[in-house]
Amino acid sequence: MSEKFTKGPWKAKYDSQLQALIEIYNTEDRIMVAVLPDRGTIEAMPEIEANANLIADAWQLPELRREISELKAINKEMYEALDHLRIAAQKVCDDFCCGAGCSQDARDCKLEGGLIRAEIALRKARGEEE
């Protein structure tokens, strides 16, 4: 798919003179992007107009795709950093606070409580259930 397209923003407008078209055009240069025939009923018009507005927002898709890709990379780095933090905190807890045979309840240990919060944050970030 080509990355060539009419620059935005685009607008969808019902042609009140012809009463049969929805035009989608560039608002700056008034370059026509699409013309949609209105073949719907009066009841369907809100849905037809909503679909035309979706098409009118399409000029933003290339930038949104780039942003999504960047955000996915950032999220991956955050997951990895949280996981490294959880592992390091567990090691500190095991080595200095609540080593093997610790009698404290895990929720009473400040480090362990932090680990539990880190685990919850990781599951939430991944969209997993608690």
Question: What was the pLDDT predicted at 69?
Answer: 94
Question: What was the pLDDT predicted at 123?
Answer: 76
Averages of pLDDT over runs of 10 residues in the chain (130 residues) are 77 73 88 79 77 90 93 90 78 63 52 66 73
Element containing residue 36 per DSSP (H, E)? strand 32-37
Confirm if 125 and 74 have CB atoms less than 8 A apart.
no
How far apart (Å, rounded) are the C-alpha atoms in residues 50 and 57? 11
Element containing residue 51 per DSSP (H, E)? helix 45-56
Report pTM: 0.53
Domain ranges for the chain, please list them.
10-56, 68-126
How far apart (Å, rounded) are the C-alpha atoms in residues 80 and 83? 5
Residue range 84-115, pLDDT digits in tens? 877 777 776 666 665 554 555 544 555 556 66
Number of Cβ within a 10 Å radius of residue 12: 21
